[in-house]
DNA sequence: CCCCAAAATTGATCTGGGTCAACCGGCTTT
DNA sequence: AAAGCCGGTTGACCCAGATCAATTTTGGGG
């Protein structure tokens, strides 16, 4: 996968930004936003490209503006655990060691708002509300991480898949509105690596759910025919 | 387990506090510390007592001063996932929903420094450095959470146990200094629920490691006879 | 010191999900 | 339009770790 990074001339305005309301920048007022605009640079990545890698020195932070990314960690022997999928509005790259602690690559075309670390750090410096916002996002992610630990450690394959479908749908609600048709831009392998399963088990579980009339497997996603049943399967 | 909470008269001084250097309060100067002292109240819990429960309205934050706690989430059918063990210096209770997102109880006797939510929130309000410190702790925890996801989703029982022993030892280093004798105050069930295994598998893995001369099971813990071998087992 | 309950270990057996392998179908390349 | 490829599905079989079932060990209280 050869990098085909495109850097647009930075004529975008934050005020027009699609993720203005949900992203870190939601904590900025009009004046700050003007200054903030000069800090970030829109960058495009095409499908499969890596935005940053685990252990890389952190030189930038990223605000995902458009598209989907997979965030993952690799073991030396190639086993992979996807620790999350990023959606528009997600803020990536915060760490305390100066190095990224997971890798991130694009699933389909992606647009990010990239901030160089130092100027961004300076901008935050004395802006309590922005730091608060970042803190809030971190805590929110921490909760998600803990929920996911429960899923990985204590749930069966069926429960994992059901919980994944519901969780993913839920995340899409705030972006595209509620729908029982759930697009799944990521591959079966991605789903497997997110749920701590194999690709075969994910595939089999999907077909099982379909045979039971609970979902329908459609091109590029699934359709929830019986959301209540899926919720029952996901247990809790 | 009947609560036997003891609240000491609040004559403790933060400046004498055992966790002064590592806890949130490490970001406070002498003057602030004086004010901070009046905010917190030392509370003792005895073994097995619950400090707070998942879904409870958050009324306080806690700074663990002495002892060990297990932090866990339960499924409705009783399955439990321990999402972490807390050690002195750890700060507990931050959340964004107003409710705790996991339960916490004492493993052995515990002392915490308890802060009522509202005054603590007011104290933070305009203290950027304290918020920064809290943010740093949250990000650190997020990294640990992600590492743990890899363990839960992608590692074998042997690797899980080996990684746990090393990780736990590592955490104790900064508190009690380095040692190949690793105290394990938590039960086998706790370890199992932390690693996403059963108690039997944990027990068997310990005995297997002991048979291979890699560890020795001692009273209240284990001794690492061959740390290098354990590291090799933990892989990655 | 003895008793009892809880924790831990050990053994026998079972099974959910992994592994291995074949196959299918839609896209791209030529 | 044939060939090849890649992602996904399906089937057959296997095994790591769960489950079930005894013991054994530990620890606290009288």
Domain shared by B117 and B27, yes or no:
yes
Contacts of A228 (CB under 8 A, 6+ apart): none
What is the chain B residue with the closest CA to A145? B145
Tens place of pLDDT for every residue, chain A, 236 residues? 444 455 555 556 788 888 988 888 888 888 888 888 889 999 999 999 999 999 999 999 999 999 999 999 999 999 999 999 999 999 999 999 999 999 999 999 999 999 999 999 999 988 999 999 999 999 999 999 999 999 999 999 999 999 999 999 999 999 999 999 999 999 999 999 999 999 999 999 999 999 999 999 999 999 999 999 999 999 87
Task: Determine, for residues B79 and A132 on separate chains, whether the beta-carbon distance falls below 8 Å.
Answer: no
Q: What is the pLDDT of residue B235?
A: 84
Mean pLDDT, residues B165-186: 95
Q: Which of residues 177-206 of A touch strand C (CB under 7 A)?
A: 196-198, 200-201
Pair B186, B107: CB distance under 8 Å: yes
Q: What is the pLDDT of residue A33?
A: 87
Choosing from A101, A131, A151, the residue where a domain stops is A151
Choosing from B136, B151, B166, the residue where a domain stops is B151
Residue B66 has pLDDT above 90, yes or no: yes
- CA distances for B16 relative to A95, B20, B127, B172, angstroms: 31, 7, 22, 21
- Domain assignment of residue A176, yes or no: yes
- Burial label for B209, CB within 10 Å (0-12, 13-18, 19+), is buried
Task: Determine, for residues A132 and B132 on separate chains, whether the beta-carbon distance falls below 8 Å.
Answer: no
Choosing from A116, A151, A186, the residue where a domain stops is A151
Q: What is the pLDDT of residue B2?
A: 42
Chain B (203-232) residues lying within 8 Å, Cβ to Cβ, of chain A: none
Q: What is the pLDDT of residue B78?
A: 95
The CATH number for A111's domain is: 2.60.120.10
Q: What is the pLDDT of residue B13?
A: 77
Element (H, E) at B62: strand B60-74
- Domain assignment of residue B165, yes or no: yes
Q: What is the pLDDT of residue A104?
A: 98
Q: Which two tokens stand for residue A228?
A: 């209540």
Task: Determine, for residues A142 and B143 on separate chains, whether the beta-carbon distance falls below 8 Å.
Answer: no
Residue B225 has pLDDT above 50, yes or no: yes
Domain containing residue A180: 155-234
- Minimal Cα–Cα distance from B66 to chain A, Å? 24
Q: Please tell me the total count of domains within chain B.
A: 2
> Is A156 within 7 A of strand C by CB distance?
yes
Determine the 3-state secondary structure of A217 from DSSP: strand
Residue B89 has pLDDT above 70, yes or no: yes
Closest nt to residue A203, judged CA to C1': D9
Domain shared by B194 and B124, yes or no:
no
- Domain assignment of residue B74, yes or no: yes
- Domain assignment of residue B1, yes or no: no
Domain shared by A35 and A136, yes or no:
yes
pLDDT tens string B141-154? 999 999 999 999 99
> Is B189 within 7 A of strand C by CB distance?
yes
Residue B9 has pLDDT above 60, yes or no: no
Determine the 3-state secondary structure of A48 from DSSP: coil
Mean pLDDT, residues B129-140: 95
Domain shared by B46 and B126, yes or no:
yes
> Is B223 within 7 A of strand C by CB distance?
no
The answer to whether A95 contacts chain B (CB < 8 Å) is: yes
Domain shared by B60 and B159, yes or no:
no
- Domain assignment of residue A1, yes or no: no
Which chain B residues are Cβ-neighbours of A93 within 8 angstroms?
none
Q: Which two tokens stand for residue B158?
A: 């042997």
User: CA(A106)–C1'(D12) in Å?
Assistant: 36
Domain shared by B110 and B167, yes or no:
no
Residue B17 has pLDDT above 70, yes or no: yes
The CATH number for B215's domain is: 1.10.10.10
Domain shared by A122 and A31, yes or no:
yes
Domain shared by B40 and B72, yes or no:
yes
Pair A80, B154: CB distance under 8 Å: yes
Which chain B residues are Cβ-neighbours of A147 within 8 angstroms?
73
Domain shared by A142 and A222, yes or no:
no
Domain shared by B78 and B190, yes or no:
no
Domain shared by A122 and A190, yes or no:
no
Q: What is the pLDDT of residue A8?
A: 54
> Is A152 within 7 A of strand C by CB distance?
no
- Domain assignment of residue A16, yes or no: yes
CB pairs under 8 A between A and B: 115
Alpha-carbon span B100 to B51, nearest angstrom: 11
Output B192 or A5, whichever has higher pLDDT.
B192
Give the rounded distance of the alpha carbon of B194 from its chain centre.
12
- Domain assignment of residue A44, yes or no: yes
User: CA(A79)–C1'(D4) in Å?
Assistant: 28
- Domain assignment of residue A227, yes or no: yes
pLDDT band at B10 (very low <50, low <70, confident <90, very high): low
- CA distances for B150 relative to A183, A215, A233, B232, angstroms: 26, 29, 24, 17
Count CA atoms within 13 Å of residue A147 on its CB side.
Answer: 15
Listed as own residue / partner, the contacts of A227-232 with beta carbons closer than 8 Å and 24 or more positions apart are A227/A166, A227/A180, A230/A162, A230/A165, A230/A166, A231/A162, A231/A166
Buried b (16+ CB within 10 A) or exposed e, B218-229: eeebbebeeeeb
Domain shared by B104 and B10, yes or no:
yes
């Amino acid at each position: 996968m050869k990098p085909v990074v495109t850097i647009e001339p930075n004529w975008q305005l934050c005020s027009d930004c699609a993720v203005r309301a949900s992203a870190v920048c939601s904590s900025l007022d009009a004046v700050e936003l003007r200054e903030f605009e000069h800090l970030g640079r829109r960058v495009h990545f095409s499908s499969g490209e890596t935005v940053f890698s685990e252990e890389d020195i952190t030189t930038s932070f990223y605000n995902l503006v458009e598209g989907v990314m997979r965030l993952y960690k690799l073991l030396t022997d190639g086993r992979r655990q996807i620790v999350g999928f990023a959606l528009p509005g997600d803020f990536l790259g915060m760490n305390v060691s100066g190095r990224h602690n997971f890798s991130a690559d694009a699933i389909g075309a992606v647009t990010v708002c990239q901030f160089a670390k130092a100027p961004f750090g300076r901008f935050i410096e004395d802006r309590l509300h922005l730091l608060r916002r970042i803190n809030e996002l971190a805590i929110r992610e921490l909760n998600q991480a803990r929920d996911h630990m429960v899923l990985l450690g204590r749930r069966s394959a069926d429960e994992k898949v059901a919980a994944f479908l519901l969780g993913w749908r839920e995340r899409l609600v705030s972006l595209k509105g509620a729908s029982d048709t759930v697009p799944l831009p990521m591959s079966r392998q991605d789903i497997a690596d997110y749920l701590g399963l194999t690709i075969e088990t994910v595939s089999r579980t999907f077909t099982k759910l379909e045979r039971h009339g609970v979902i329908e497997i459609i091109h590029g996603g699934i359709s929830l025919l019986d959301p209540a049943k899926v919720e029952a399967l996901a247990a809790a």
